[in-house]
Amino acid sequence: MTAGTAFARAKAEGRAALVGYLPAGFPDVVGGIEALRTMVDAGCDVIEIGLPYSDPVMDGPTVQAAAQQALDRGVRIKDVLRTVEAVAGTGTPTLVMTYWNPIERYGVERFAADLASAGGAGLITPDITPDADPAWAQAADAHDLDKVYLVAPSSTDERIAMTTAACRGFVYATAVMGVTGARTTTSELAEPLVARTKSVTDLPVGVGLGVSNGAQAAEIAAYADGVIVGSAFVRTLLDHPDDTGAGLRALGALTEDLAAGVRRG
């Protein structure tokens, strides 16, 4: 299933989609797969799997800590693809979110082929723009993979139009200027950014905003097609380093709260 299909299904139900993120290999490969399946079972419509990278300049301290833990355990791209295959096997659209450097090193065409073979729906590329490297667009098109680029409050109208025209699946609106991380309040920049984006594309627009609870998810779901949550999921597992069962229970409860939020919105 593609990400677009999941967004369309949520829209048909009169709600926003819930998109959940965890880095692969956190807390370890098997534990990460179990955690992501827990999120699917508890209400995530789309899954983003992070590819751990040694120089995560756009990630906040929570995601950095989890990615470093994965790297310290020796996680590699083959483990990311193994995780994709396991989660995609649930029937949930599963995308990889990654900085560009590891994909270049692995080989763009090779990565596209291996991601498609694993059942992946596509790739979210936070640090490249559609005009920066045509190689990914060509490889993604050849393997029917979603191409998800980011727009931000600082993006000009022309940049938003160019970016959304190159997207397939959905558009990722990052409505906080700065690194990722859960926040106690939502941003005033998010709703205007979504409106500007939707004025130039019919694609669904998902908002990544540091959401950490169902009430915040409901607020964003009132105007966005999807609510993207990452750091709150990561923090939940970081808070239970020595009790896997408790961590998974807490993860499931958080997902249920967020899933209820996107339905209220």
pLDDT tens digits, one per residue of 58-68: 667 888 888 88
**pLDDT for the residue numbered 182:** 47
Catalytic residue, candidates 13, 45, 59, 72: 59
**pLDDT for the residue numbered 41:** 98
pLDDT tens digits, one per residue of 120-131: 999 999 999 898
- Is 188 a residue of the active site? no
In this structure, are residues 49 and 84 in contact, taking their beta carbons and an 8 Å threshold? yes
Q: Are strands 226-229 and 17-23 parallel, antiparallel or unpaired?
A: parallel
Catalytic residue, candidates 13, 41, 45, 48: 48
Q: 44-58, 135-149, 170-184 — which is least confidently predicted?
A: 170-184
Confidence of residue 56 (pLDDT cuts 50, 70, 90): low
**pLDDT for the residue numbered 70:** 84
Count: domains in the chain = 1
Domain membership of residue 81 as a residue range: 3-264
- Is 59 a residue of the active site? yes
Q: Which is higher by pLDDT, 189 or 59?
A: 189
Mean pLDDT value across residues 251-260 = 98
Q: In what order do the strands lie in the sheet with 122-124?
A: 146-148, 122-124, 94-97, 46-50, 17-23, 226-229, 205-208, 171-174, 150-151
Alpha carbon distance 207, 220 (integer Å): 8
Check whether 184 has a pLDDT greater than 60.
no
pLDDT tens digits, one per residue of 207-252: 998 899 999 999 999 999 999 999 999 999 999 988 889 999 999 9
**pLDDT for the residue numbered 181:** 45
What number of other Cβ atoms are within 10 A of residue 1's Cβ?
16
Mean pLDDT value across residues 69-89 = 94
Q: Which candidate, 216, 228, 121, places its Cα nearest to that of 173?
A: 228
CATH classification at residue 79: 3.20.20.70
Tell me the angle at which helices 29-42 and 231-238 cross, rounded to the nearest 10 degrees: 120
